[in-house]
Amino acid sequence: MSIISLIIKREFVAKVRNKSFVVMTFLSPLLFVAIAGFIAYLSSMKPETKRIAIHDETGLFADSFLKQNKKDSEYHYLNLSEIDSESLKDSIAKENFEGLILIPKTTLKELETKVEFISNNSPSISFIKKTQGLIASKITKLNFEKAQLDTIAIQKAKATVNMHLAKSSGEESLKGLNEIKIAIGGAFGYLIMMFIIIYGNMVMRSVIEEKTNRIIEIIISSVKPFQLMIGKIVGTSLAGLLQFTIWAIIGLSLMLAASMFFGVDIGPTSRISPEMMHVAQREFSGTAQMYISEAWNLPIASILFGFVVYFIGGYFLYSSFYAAIGAAVDNQTDSQQFLLPIIMPLVLSVYIGFFTVVNDPHGTIAIVFSMIPLTSPIVMLMRLPFGVPWWQIAISVSLLFATFFFVVWFAAKIYRVGILMYGKKPTWKELYKWLKY
Amino acid sequence: MSNLLEVHKVVKQYGDYVALNEVSLNVPKGSIYGLLGPNGAGKTSLIRIINQITLPDSGEVILDGEKLQPKHVQTIGYLPEERGLYTSMKVGEQCLYLAQMKGLSKAEAKLQLEYWFDRLGIQGWWNKKIQELSKGMAQKIQFVVCVLHKPKLLIFDEPFSGFDPVNANIIKDEILALKEQGATIIFSTHRMESVEELCDHIALIHKSNKLIEGKLSDVKRQFKTNSFEVGILTDNVEGLMYDITQKFTVSPASFKSLNDDLKLDIQIGNSAPNELLHILTQRGQVTHFVEKIPSVNDIFIQTVTDNKV
List the 17-76 stretch of B: residues with Cβ below 8 A of A.
Answer: 48, 51-54, 70, 73-74, 76
d(CA B193, CA B170): 16
Task: Give me the interface pTM, i.e. the ipTM.
Answer: 0.77
At residue B185, the pLDDT reads 93
Answer whether residue A268 shows pLDDT above 50: no
Average pLDDT over residues A26-32: 81
Residues B126 and B205 in one domain: yes
Regarding whether B23 and B83 lie in a shared domain, the answer is yes
The predicted model gives B8-16 an average pLDDT of 85
Among the partner residues A14, A214, A433, nearest to B82 by beta-carbon distance: A214
Report if residue B306 sits inside a domain.
no
pLDDT digit string (tens) for B36-47?
888 888 888 899
Residues of chain B with Cβ-Cβ distance to A209 below 8 Å are: 86
Model pLDDT, residue B155: 93
**Candidates A209, A422, A437; nearest CB to B82:** A422
C-alpha A110/C-alpha A315 separation (Å) is 61
User: Which of B221, B246, B272 lies at the terminal end of a domain, its last residue?
Assistant: B221
Between the alpha carbon of residue A162 and those of residues A175, A289, A308, A374, the distances in Å are: 10, 20, 37, 41
Q: Could you tell me if A220 lies within 8 Å of chain B, comparing CB atoms?
A: yes
pLDDT above 90: residue B186 = yes
pLDDT at residue A278 greater than cutoff 80: no
Q: Do A223 and B89 touch (CB under 8 A)?
A: no
Q: What residue in A sits closest to B47 (Cα-Cα)?
A: A221
Distance (Å, whole) CA A115 – CA A138:
13
CA–CA dist A379, A371 (Å, integer):
9
Indicate whether B182 and B278 sit together in one domain. Answer: no
C-alpha A236/C-alpha A203 separation (Å) is 6
Same domain membership, residue B141 and residue B245: no
Cα B7 versus chain centre, distance: 18
Name the residue among B14, B83, B102 with its Cβ closest to that of A217.
B83
Domain assignment present for B301: no
Residue B102: its chain A contacts at CB < 8 A?
Answer: 222
How far is C-alpha A56 from the geometric centre of its chain's CA atoms? 43
Domain ranges, ordered by start, for chain A: 2-29+175-435, 50-158
Task: Count up the domains in chain B and report the number.
Answer: 2
A435 near B CB under 8 A: no
In B, which residues are within 8 Å of A416 by CB distance? Answer: 54
Cα–Cα distance for residue pair A270/A265, rounded to 1 Å: 9
Question: Binning pLDDT at 50, 70 and 90, where does residue A112 land?
Answer: confident
Instruction: Determine the Cα–Cα distance for residues A279 and A248; give it in Å rounded to an integer.
Output: 32
Same domain, B74 and B205: yes
Side chain identity, residue B40? G
For residues B214 and B277, membership in a common domain is answered with no
pLDDT confidence tier of residue B281, bands split at 50, 70 and 90: confident
* Residue B307 Cα, gap to closest chain A Cα (Å): 28
Domain assignment present for residue B102? The answer is yes
Distance from CA of A323 to the nearest CA of B (A): 18
Q: What is the pLDDT of residue A170?
A: 53
CATH assignment at residue B216: 3.40.50.300
Counting Cα atoms < 13 Å in the Cβ hemisphere of B172 gives: 17
Instruction: Measure the N-to-C terminal CA separation of chain A; round to a whole number of Å.
Output: 26
* DSSP assignment of A358-383: HH-TTSHHHHHHTTSTTTHHHHHHHH
- The C-alpha atoms of residue A100 and residue A50 are separated, in whole angstroms, by 11
- pLDDT digits 0-9 by tens, A294-321: 556 667 777 788 888 888 888 888 988 8
Task: Place B69 in a pLDDT band, splitting at 50, 70 and 90.
Answer: confident
Query: Which of A6, A10, A17, A221 best tests the B interface by mutation, with the highest count of B CBs <10 A?
Result: A221
Q: What is the CATH number for B281?
A: 3.30.70
Range of weakest confidence among A51-65, A415-429, B188-202: A415-429
The top-level CATH class assigned to A50-158 is alpha beta
Check CB contact of A431 with chain B, cutoff 8 Å.
Answer: no
Mean pLDDT throughout A23-45? 81
The model's pLDDT over A343-375, given as tens digits with 9 standing for 90+, comes to 888 888 888 888 887 778 788 888 888 888 888
Q: Rounded distance, CA B291 to CA B269, Å?
A: 12
- Looking at CA atoms only, how far is residue B127 from chain A in angstroms? 15
Q: Which residues from chain B sit within 8 angstroms of residue A11, using beta carbons?
A: none
Among residues of chain A, what percentage have pLDDT more than 70? 84
**pLDDT tens digits for range A226-260:** 888 889 889 988 888 888 888 878 877 877 776 67
Higher pLDDT, A284 or B42: B42
Q: How confident is the model at residue A266 (pLDDT cuts 50, 70, 90)?
A: very low
The answer on B257 and B123 residing in a single domain is no
- Its sign, for the CA torsion A403, A404, A409, A415, is positive
Q: Mean pLDDT of all residues in chain B?
A: 86
**Mean per-residue pLDDT of chain A:** 79
pTM above 0.90, yes or no: no
* CA dist., res. A38 & res. B299, Å (int): 78
Higher pLDDT, A159 or B153: B153
User: Which residues in chain B have Cβ-Cβ distances shorter than 8 Å to A218?
Assistant: 78, 80, 83-85, 98, 142, 145-146
Residue B77 sits in the same domain as residue B148: yes
- Closest chain A C-alpha to B101 CA, distance in angstroms: 6
Give the H/E segment covering residue B137: helix B135-147
* Bridge partners, A165 (sequence order): A173
Residue B299 domain-assigned?
Answer: no
Residue B266 has pLDDT above 50, yes or no: yes
Same domain, B198 and B251: no
Task: Please tell me which residue of chain B has the smallest CA distance to A213.
Answer: B84
In a domain, residue B77? The reply is yes
B155 in a structural domain: yes
Rounded mean pLDDT of A324-342?
A: 82
Q: Do residue B136 and residue B185 come from a single domain?
A: yes
Specify if B305 maps to a domain.
no
Contact (CB, 8 A) for B148 and B99: yes
- Express each pLDDT in A142-199 by its tens digit: 888 888 888 788 888 888 887 766 666 555 555 566 777 777 788 888 888 888 888 8
- The pLDDT of residue A391 is above 90: no
- Is the same domain home to B104 and B183? yes
Say what the pLDDT of residue A265 is.
45
Q: What is the pLDDT of residue A270?
A: 43
Residues near B113 by beta carbon (within 8 Å), at least 6 away in sequence: B92, B95, B96, B99, B144, B148
Rounded Cα distance between B186 and A24, Å, is: 47
Q: What distance in Å separates the CA atoms of residue B203 and residue B215, rounded to the nearest whole number?
A: 9
Domain boundary residue, one of B198, B221, B244: B221
Which alpha helices (H) appear in A74-176, and where do they start and end?
A: 85-91, 108-114, 125-146, 151-157
- Give a yes or no: residue B213 inside a domain: yes
| B175 shares its domain with B247 | no
Among chain A residues, the shortest Cα distance to B83 is held by: A214
pLDDT for the residue A264: 45
The answer to whether B261 and B233 have CB atoms below 8 angstroms apart is yes
Q: Does A224 touch chain B (CB under 8 A)?
A: yes
Asked which of B182, B206, B221 is the last residue of a domain, the reply is B221
Q: Which of B17, B18, B21 has its CA nearest to residue B7?
A: B21
Instruction: Identify the closest residue of chain B to A215 by CA–CA distance.
Output: B84
Pairing label, strands A99-103, A50-56: parallel
Residue A331 at interface with chain B, using a CB cutoff of 8 Å = no
pLDDT over threshold 50, residue A267: no
Contact flag B48-A223 (C-beta cutoff 8 Å): no
Q: What is the Cα–Cα distance from A236 to A230, expressed in whole angstroms?
A: 10
How many Å lie between the alpha carbon of B52 and the closest alpha carbon of chain A? 7
Domain that holds residue B146: 3-221
- In chain B, DSSP assigns E strands to 3-14, 17-28, 32-36, 58-63, 66-67, 76-79, 153-157, 184-188, 201-206, 209-215, 227-233, 249-252, 262-267, 285-291
Show residues of chain B in contact with A5, CB under 8 Å. none
Mode of pairing for the β-strands spanning A172-173 and B3-14: unpaired
Whether B154 shows a pLDDT value over 90: the answer reads yes
